[in-house]
């Protein structure tokens, strides 16, 4: 599957881009996002009825959480050195009911830092759920 520049994606795909700020709305599990260091990534999930909320369950070492609510998250992406590139780049979200320990929905995104001036792209992978 080839990568598609975010700036050319249509609005229904759920991605919008500004200079160094990428917004993903209701992302599909397996989406791959490539960002230049210093870029911001916002992830927004649809509001749902009930008390279940989204939580960040796994964060790559090159991503810093700036803000989080029950359905919106904002991150800052840093560059990575060779040692962290060998590790995980997955940003994992889990939707959980506050009274239960089990996640009933999972969304994993792959966040890849590019060299300065790199092109931001996104592509979707296979749909997975827990």
Taking only the tens of pLDDT, the chain with its 130 residues reads 333 334 333 333 444 444 589 999 999 999 999 988 999 999 999 987 788 999 999 999 999 999 999 899 999 998 765 434 445 689 999 999 888 888 889 999 999 988 655 545 556 554 444 3
Domain count along the chain: 1
Residue 68 inside a domain? The answer is: yes
* pTM (global) more than 0.75: no
Residue 8 inside a domain? The answer is: yes
Spatial separation of the C-alpha atoms in residues 17 and 1, rounded to whole Å: 21
Query: What range does the domain containing 71 cover?
Result: 4-123
Spatial separation of the C-alpha atoms in residues 35 and 115, rounded to whole Å: 9
40: nearest Cα among 76, 7, 68: 76
The CATH code of the domain that includes 24 is 2.60.40.1860
Q: Taking a C-beta distance cutoff of 8 angstroms, is the pair 89, 69 a contact?
A: no
Residue 99 inside a domain? The answer is: yes
Residue 130 inside a domain? The answer is: no
Residue 45 inside a domain? The answer is: yes
């Amino acid at each position: 599957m080839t990568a598609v520049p975010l700036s050319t994606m249509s609005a229904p795909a759920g991605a919008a881009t500004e200079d160094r700020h990428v917004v993903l709305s209701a992302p599909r599990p397996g989406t791959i996002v490539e960002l230049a260091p210093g870029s911001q990534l916002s992830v927004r999930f649809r509001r749902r009825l009930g008390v279940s909320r989204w939580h960040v369950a796994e964060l790559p070492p090159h991503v810093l959480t700036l803000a989080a609510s029950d359905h919106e998250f904002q991150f800052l992406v840093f560059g990575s050195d060779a040692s962290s590139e060998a590790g995980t780049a997955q940003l994992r979200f889990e939707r959980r009911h506050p009274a239960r320990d089990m996640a009933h929905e999972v969304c994993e995104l792959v966040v890849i830092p590019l060299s300065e001036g790199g092109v931001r792209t996104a592509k979707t992978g296979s749909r997975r759920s827990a």
